Amino acid sequence: MRFGWFDCIDDLEVARALFKAAGDWARSEGMDEIHGPLYYNTLGKQGMLVEGFENIPPFNCLYNYPYYNRLMESLGFVKECDWLQYKIVANHGVPEKARRVAKLVMERYNLHSGSIDALKKNPEQVRKFFKVYNDSFSQSVYNFIPFTDEEIAEEAESSLRFISDKASCILFDENDEIVAFGISFPSISKALQKAGGHLFPFGWYHLWRALHNYETTDLMINGAVPEWQNRGVSAVYYKEIADKAVKIGNRWAISNPQIESNSAVNIWNSYEHEPFMRRRCYIMKLP
């Protein structure tokens, strides 16, 4: 059973009561383990913060106080996996080798960049994009849950409005089929703090300003359809986003959580970077 949205005061008995209720339900449904915090799907908020409490997380990531982890361990939960996030210098471009590889890949496979702004206006292309998302990560991301049709509609309504060609890219083949993508957008975390959870009377203004300020961006997702993986297309979208970062005045980028066992985290060794946050999924065998 997955749990999420765990929130309580610093009291072990309160936490114990919450998880007893959750565990009783899980056993009644035939389940014998509980793990989390996890969301309905992999794009949602998951992973309990264990390092980086001094930083403000991207809006799609959880924040919690350090005592949450003490409560989890006291209840018998143990680490299942950790996700890592980094703060990267965004305006230094990509290494020259990556630039050469990107050019060769584009020419060899006759790829071209598309418009995300145009894609957002085409419902059929939006559905294709999320299908590609499901296919890209279904076999490679731990604990991955694909989007349902209903969730695709919800994400298209709530998330796509923040995405534009200024800080993201999408690649197509010669038949205009989606090959790969790199999605990022301006950080809105501080704006949400200022808004205090309300769009009115002035919350909308803080959000509007944040969406036009690219000094710090959140790197959300990047990937390629299965048949295009391991062909070098990652060099293309990293190069595209790095070039755009220079144009829009992007100084810092915050990476989305990546599981520590994924070799893809090594990409940041090619950039000036520092640790930003570490998140943990806990698991426990139900008694």
Compute the average pLDDT of residues 68-74: 98
- Is the Cβ–Cβ distance between 129 and 177 less than 8 Å? no
- Is the Cβ–Cβ distance between 4 and 39 less than 8 Å? yes
Q: What percent of the chain has pLDDT over 70?
A: 100
User: What are 260-274's pLDDT values in tens digits?
Assistant: 987 777 788 888 999
What is the average pLDDT value for the chain, to the nearest integer?
A: 91
Compute the average pLDDT of residues 87-109: 92
pTM of the predicted structure, to 2 decimals: 0.90
Cα end-to-end span (Å), the chain: 14
Provide the pLDDT for residue 43: 76
- How far is residue 180's CA from residue 236's CA, in Å, rounded to a whole number? 9
User: What are 223-235's pLDDT values in tens digits?
Assistant: 888 899 889 898 8
Provide the pLDDT for residue 181: 92
Provide the pLDDT for residue 35: 96
Compute the average pLDDT of residues 92-106: 91
Single-letter amino acid code for the residue at 119: L
- How far is residue 236's CA from residue 233's CA, in Å, rounded to a whole number? 5
Check residues 278 and 117 and name the one with the higher pLDDT: 278
Residue 255 pLDDT > 80: yes
Provide the pLDDT for residue 247: 94
CA atoms within 13 A on the CB side of 158: 10
Distances 248 to 81, 142, 185, 215, 253 between C-alpha atoms, Å: 35, 33, 11, 8, 12
- How far is residue 222's CA from residue 208's CA, in Å, rounded to a whole number? 25
User: What are 128-182's pLDDT values in tens digits?
Assistant: 888 888 888 877 778 888 888 888 888 888 778 778 899 999 999 999 999 999 9
Q: pLDDT tier at 239 (50, 70, 90 boundaries)?
A: very high
Provide the pLDDT for residue 143: 80
Q: Which residues contact 269 (CB under 8 A, 6 or more apart)?
A: none
Q: pLDDT tier at 98 (50, 70, 90 boundaries)?
A: confident
- How far is residue 249's CA from residue 212's CA, in Å, rounded to a whole number? 11
Enumerate the CATH 3.40.630 domain ranges in the chain, comma separated.
91-250
User: What are 14-50's pLDDT values in tens digits?
Assistant: 999 999 999 999 999 999 999 999 988 877 788 999 9
Which residue, chain included where needed, has tokens 């309990």? 48
Check residues 221 and 254 and name the one with the higher pLDDT: 254
220 - beta bridge partners? none
Provide the pLDDT for residue 102: 94
CATH architecture, domain defined by 91-250? 3-Layer(aba) Sandwich (3.40)
Provide the pLDDT for residue 76: 97
Give the 3-state DSSP-derived string for the chain, with helices as H, strands as E and coil as C.
CECCCCCCCCCHHHHHHHHHHHHHHHHHCCCCEEEECCCCCCCCCCCEEEECCCCCCCCCCCCCCCHHHHHHHHCCCEEEEEEEEEEEECCCCCCHHHHHHHHHHHHHHCCEECCHHHHHCCHHHHHHHHHHHHHHHCCCCCCCCCCCHHHHHHHHHHCHHHCCCCCCEEEECCCCCEEEEEEEEECCHHHHHHHCCCCCCCHHHHHHHHCCCCCEEEEEEEEECHHHCCCCHHHHHHHHHHHHHHHHCCCEEEECCEECCCHHHHHHHHCCEEEEEEEEEEEEECC
